[in-house]
Amino acid sequence: MNTSHPDEPDVTGQATGETPGQTTGEDVTAELARLRDSIDNIDAAVVHMLAERFKCTQQVGHLKARHQLPPADPSREARQIARLRQLAENAKLDPAFAEKLLNFIIAEVIRHHETIAAGEE
């Protein structure tokens, strides 16, 4: 009897007569399509979350410009990186990757803040 989860490929081969680990071409195509659907949904969520984050940071940029505060705040960044690294570890995500990603996003935010401070936006 195939006791695997219905969403998982048949790894026993008992139902199909294949060797363990094998799936039919149709199974692979369906499984790939299912996983890619999930990836597409996650990518859409990431884009929407980033858009919301940038809406907030744009407001911070205008607030800073109005009050002559510097675009970057390295001590805040250090706290965020420490926090994100911990979150990544808990989630079994590479903390170095999480740090690189946050630094990449923050660099773009600082660029926006510099533009706002220069009165160009």
Between 30 and 60, CB nearer to ligand ISJ: 60
Find the helix or strand (DSSP H, E) in which 115 lies. helix 95-117
Residues in the chain: 121
Between 12 and 57, CB nearer to ligand ISJ: 57
Nearest-approach distance from CB 108 to ligand ISJ, in angstroms? 8
Q: Which of 22, 58, 80, 103 binds ligand ISJ (CB under 6 A)?
A: 80
Between 23 and 80, CB nearer to ligand ISJ: 80
Between 23 and 58, CB nearer to ligand ISJ: 58
User: Nearest 5 degrees, angle CA 62-CA 68-CA 74?
Assistant: 85
Q: What Å distances lie between residue 1 and 6, 19, 26, 31, 91, CA to CA?
A: 13, 15, 20, 21, 34
Report DSSP state, residue 69.
-
Q: Does 93 bind ligand ISJ (CB under 6 A)?
A: no
Q: Where along the sequence are the contacts to ligand ISJ (CB under 6 A)?
A: 57, 60, 72-73, 76-77, 80, 105-106, 109-110, 113
